[in-house]
Amino acid sequence: MHVTDAHVEPHRLRLSGRHAVLEVSCPLPGVLRLRHAPVSSEIGFLHPELPGKRSWSVIAEEGHPLKVERDGERARVTAEGVSLEVDVESGTWRFQDAQGRELARCVEVSGEVQAAYPMSRHRARMKLRAPEGERYLGFGEKVGPLDKRGMHFTFWNTDVVPHHPDTDPLYQSIPFFVGLRGGVAWGFFLDESWRSEVDVALADASRVAWESWGPELDCYLFAGPMPADVVRRYAALTGRPPLPPLWSLGAQQSRWGYENAQDIRGVIQGYRQRNLPLDCVYLDIDYMDGYKVWTWDSARYPDPAGLVREAAAQGVRLVPIIDPALKLEPGWNVYEDAKARDYLVRYDRGGVLVGEVWPKPAVFPDLTRPEVQRWWGGLHRDFVALGMAGFWNDMNEPSCFGVQPDVGILTLTSERAEGIGQVEGKTLPYDARHGEKRHLEVHNVYALGMAKGAFEGLRELRPEARPFLLTRAGFAGIQRYSAVWTGDNSSHWTQLETSLPMLMGLGLAAVAHTGVDIPGFIGRANGELLVRWMQTGTFYPLMRNHAGKGTSPQEPWRFGEPYLTLARAALERRYRLLPTLYTLMHEASETGIAPLRPLLMEAPGDPEAAGAFDQFLFGRDLLVAPVVRPGQTKRLAYLPAGAWLEWPGLERTGEVREGGQHVIADGPLDTVPVWLRAGGAVALTRPAMHTTDANWQHLEWHVHAAPEIHGRLYEDAGDGYGESRLTELRGGVTAGVLRLERSEMGTLTRARTEEKIRVYGLTSVRKVTGARAHHFEDGVLELQVAADWTRLDVAP
Ligand code: GLC
């Protein structure tokens, strides 16, 4: 890049050539930020400097000091825990960790710009070396296995219906991956909201090639060495997911096609009459008056507040759908207000852009601008007052079925650059105006802005409650505000299997609260698919049954027996698991590490574990290999190193198997293959019809005895920001003697009326101290403990 100027500040190194600039800084320990502007018309020729840039994703401030050494053609930057060697001629670099291991190498940076009206055409490109055997995991919500080597992706939030196992792009754009080679992990995040693409060693097996349609490549490099370290650093940079309210982890029911309040009552009754747990019902678009958001069709829903109360009496919350597009209806206050405030997206030539979504014609609030986000947040006021528990944000790519031709007056020039006015997918044209910016730059962050506005609005309107949002579209950082579901899937077995790497990909990007439509949005499910999907969904952080308009009903009782009984068992299992799931969600809020994790999180050096994507870890201690194919009653599962106790469906126990091998698991229709790791301890409670609080009255620890045992439990009121308590269970078996100790932190008063500990893996039990009662049979020791127990000893 022919460096003409090297500028060193304590926190930043800037190398600039005639047209190219590279800036290096260190926002967090183990993380480097590199801004590459390979060719930029926006920077002056004499003192090239990068213009200030606002990130939608990054929340960490820059500011760890850098040490810069210059040696002829090389500059070496050292910061906390990482270093970068830059070839000042080419602008390429090598990224190393504190041990001097090369984690990543950039081998080419290039770009081009064609000045044109109304938008210059930019391309900024970077190629990373893709060493043989290196895996590229994640990329958020993308199809394919978890390791994306050999695939190509576009980051352009897209409404696709139906989507298939090979559809790309989908609704979310998260240009972040975890690299894994020889058991050592590192990470790469391209913080560009512009449309971008990545070729993951497909066109050239030795390169990962990024291309952004913006003027630069603003990227972040993360050191490991463990995958969890990379995720933790990424979450520190882009934000951790807040702990959702407990009720949102309960069972959820939805359908596009519940016509009115009577249907909503009916579905709640349907659950209760059959003793099926349920916490939440969604209201899809038909509640609105003419698809106008923030309105009610008063014939279908004469008394929304009354309906909220009726549902609450059954322990059920209501969550309405909110789409961003506003009906263009003169006189309607939301539209008039948005127009008067100049909050609407415009055509290139300046007029308000008119398209169509469910409302026709429709206009789009410019949710990429902070003032519009604040206004949008405030619009939740009336629905919050009615008692709506959360909000479901949809069509926020933004989806637009058609854009009306601009009838505005031709003002500046009729010569328009290539691609201008072009629409990619069902959305707005590339050149649509968002204040000073164009759609091409901010398309991917539209939903993030919507979620930010909603989240912050809800924090103000209902400060005592934790916001619950569910979104379809998003970008890196969406985890700070919202849960995510993967959009319009189908009732096909392949999509059940695909859901696992998709949710794990989101999880690696710190998007912890995720799920997919069970048992598929489009198409027709059968009882077997429903049951298998619910068994898998027991472990989705968000468990929602949803269906598209015109599909046959698919609530849990719609397929008769034995499916209803099996569906109930899956729901009950979900509620039994809530102490563990809630604790894992709390862990995610502190670390960014999602409950549903790939095996490689715990076994990065094991190639079989790293390649596994149709099975997963639930937390650290549970391994789940659900049956995701029709007609099968057994499946192959891989157990990483360690000893694993078969714990099918969390109900009975089977054999202990040594890890580091494949096993054939039994999985008849009533069984979900699950294993509990040796040393693992997970907390369960009794099944219930709905959640109440997360200060569990009935608690059951399940412990797989080993030399070292560790378990955790986080408890609080289940919502709000009040008192909490964190319990740590520690101990182990030494010379045949099992010792367990409990310690607690936090001020929440215990609500326990019953606590049991089930210990697996002991061969004999002679004397127990510290328990009220015990019973040993078939290798299972069951202990009843007092609410204030602190220590237990079991002698053989
Ligand atoms: C979109 C959503 C779907 C919803 C439908 C109607 O297709 O993805 O979940 O039911 O719109 O609102």
Buried b / exposed e across 176-186, counting CB within 10 Å, b at 16+? bbbbbbebbbb
Q: Atom 7 (ligand 1): residue with closest C-alpha?
A: 488
Residue 578: φ, ψ to 5°: -55, -40
Q: In CATH, which of 3.30.70.2660, 2.60.120.560, 1.10.3720.10, 2.60.40.1180 is domain 680-795?
A: 2.60.40.1180
Q: What is the pLDDT of residues 303-330, one digit of tens each?
A: 999 999 999 999 999 999 999 999 999 9
Q: Could you say which of 23, 141, 441, 488 is catalytic?
A: 488
| The length of the chain, given as a count of residues | 796
Q: CA–CA distance from 117 to each of 44, 124, 413 (Å)?
A: 20, 19, 8
Q: How far is the CA of 668 from the centre of ligand 1 (A)?
A: 33
Among 45-54, 302-311, 362-371, 487-496, the minimum mean pLDDT is found in 45-54
The 8-class DSSP code of residue 200 comes to: E
- State the average pLDDT over residues 785-795: 96
Structure tokens at 540: 């989705």
- The Cα diameter of the chain in Å comes to 92
The answer, yes or no, to whether residue 536 has pLDDT greater than 70, is yes
Helix %, strand %, coil % of the chain (to 5): 20, 35, 45
SS3 state of residue 407 = coil
> Looking at residue 337, what is its pLDDT?
98
CA 592 remoteness from chain centre: 10
Q: 5 or 319: whose pLDDT is higher?
A: 319
CA angle in degrees (0–180, nearest 5) for 426-431-437: 115
Ligand 1 closest atom vs CA 321 = 12
Q: How far is the CA of 343 from the centre of ligand 1 (A)?
A: 25
Structure tokens at 531: 């049951």
> Looking at residue 45, what is its pLDDT?
44
| 666 has catalytic annotation | no
What residue ranges do the domains of the chain occupy? Answer: 5-130+184-224, 680-795
> Looking at residue 40, what is its pLDDT?
61
Among 127-141, 160-174, 739-753, the minimum mean pLDDT is found in 160-174
| 259 has catalytic annotation | no
Kindly state the percentage of the chain with pLDDT values over 90: 88
Q: Could you say which of 323, 366, 397, 755 is catalytic?
A: 397
The best mutation among 321, 358, 522, 554 to test binding of ligand 1, ranked by most ligand atoms within 8 Å of the C-beta, falls on 321
| 397 has catalytic annotation | yes
**Pair 710, 743: CB distance under 8 Å:** no
Residue 106: φ, ψ to 5°: -95, 125
List 682's β-bridge partners, or say none: 702
> Looking at residue 411, what is its pLDDT?
46
Show the DSSP H helices in 557-618 as ranges: 563-576, 578-591, 607-611
Q: What is the pLDDT of residues 111-128, one digit of tens each?
A: 998 888 778 889 999 999
Q: How far is the CA of 770 from the centre of ligand 1 (A)?
A: 54
> Looking at residue 419, what is its pLDDT?
61
Q: What is the pLDDT of residues 385-417, one digit of tens each?
A: 999 999 999 999 999 999 998 876 554 444 455
Q: Is the dihedral of CA 201, 203, 208, 214 positive or negative?
A: negative
Ligand 1 closest atom vs CA 285 = 12
DSSP 317-376: EEEEEE-S-EE--TT-HHHHHHHHTT-B-B-TTSSBP-EESSSSSEE-B-TTSHHHHHHH
pLDDT band at 418 (very low <50, low <70, confident <90, very high): low
Query: What pairing do the DSSP bridges indicate for beta strands 724-734 and 767-769?
Result: unpaired
Query: Which one, of 421, 425, 469, 424, lies nearest residue 449 by Cα?
Result: 469
Q: How far is the CA of 656 from the centre of ligand 1 (A)?
A: 44
Query: Which one, of 281, 294, 280, 284, lies nearest residue 259 by Cα?
Result: 284
CB atoms within 10 A of CB 10: 10
Q: Atom 5 (ligand 1): residue with closest C-alpha?
A: 256
The rounded distance, in Å, linking the Cα atoms of 56 and 193 is 8
Q: What is the pLDDT of residues 206-260, one digit of tens each?
A: 999 999 999 999 999 999 999 999 999 999 999 999 999 999 999 999 999 999 9
The best mutation among 395, 397, 522, 545 to test binding of ligand 1, ranked by most ligand atoms within 8 Å of the C-beta, falls on 395
Ligand 1 closest atom vs CA 399 = 1
> Looking at residue 43, what is its pLDDT?
47
The rounded distance, in Å, linking the Cα atoms of 570 and 670 is 9
Ligand 1 closest atom vs CA 549 = 10
Q: How far is the CA of 287 from the centre of ligand 1 (A)?
A: 13
> Looking at residue 321, what is its pLDDT?
98
Q: Could you say which of 168, 323, 366, 394 is catalytic?
A: 394
> Looking at residue 181, what is its pLDDT?
97
> Looking at residue 46, what is its pLDDT?
46
The rounded distance, in Å, linking the Cα atoms of 186 and 174 is 16
- State the average pLDDT over residues 55-60: 96
The answer, yes or no, to whether residue 276 has pLDDT greater than 70, is yes
CA 49 remoteness from chain centre: 35
Domain 5-130+184-224: give its CATH architecture: Sandwich (2.60)
Ligand 1 closest atom vs CA 161 = 7
Look-up: residue for tokens 């192959």?
A: 636
Q: How far is the CA of 348 from the centre of ligand 1 (A)?
A: 29
**Pair 207, 201: CB distance under 8 Å:** yes
Look-up: residue for tokens 């109304």?
A: 118
Q: How far is the CA of 743 from the centre of ligand 1 (A)?
A: 46
pTM of the model: 0.97
Which residues have CB under 6 Å of ligand 1? 161, 256, 284-285, 321, 394, 472, 487-488, 546
The answer, yes or no, to whether residue 680 has pLDDT greater than 80, is yes
- State the average pLDDT over residues 514-522: 98
Ligand 1 closest atom vs CA 255 = 10
CA 574 remoteness from chain centre: 19
Look-up: residue for tokens 């049991």?
A: 756
Domains 5-130+184-224 and 680-795 share a fold: yes
> Looking at residue 53, what is its pLDDT?
86
- Stretch (H or E) spanning 228: helix 227-238
The rounded distance, in Å, linking the Cα atoms of 354 and 344 is 10
**Pair 726, 643: CB distance under 8 Å:** no
Across the chain, mean pLDDT equals: 95
Q: Atom 10 (ligand 1): residue with closest C-alpha?
A: 256
The 8-class DSSP code of residue 490 comes to: B
Q: Atom 4 (ligand 1): residue with closest C-alpha?
A: 256
Type of residue found at 109: V
The rounded distance, in Å, linking the Cα atoms of 728 and 681 is 10
The rounded distance, in Å, linking the Cα atoms of 391 and 487 is 16
Q: How far is the CA of 321 from the centre of ligand 1 (A)?
A: 9
Q: How far is the CA of 666 from the centre of ligand 1 (A)?
A: 36
Type of residue found at 625: A
The best mutation among 284, 288, 486 to test binding of ligand 1, ranked by most ligand atoms within 8 Å of the C-beta, falls on 284
**Pair 33, 220: CB distance under 8 Å:** yes
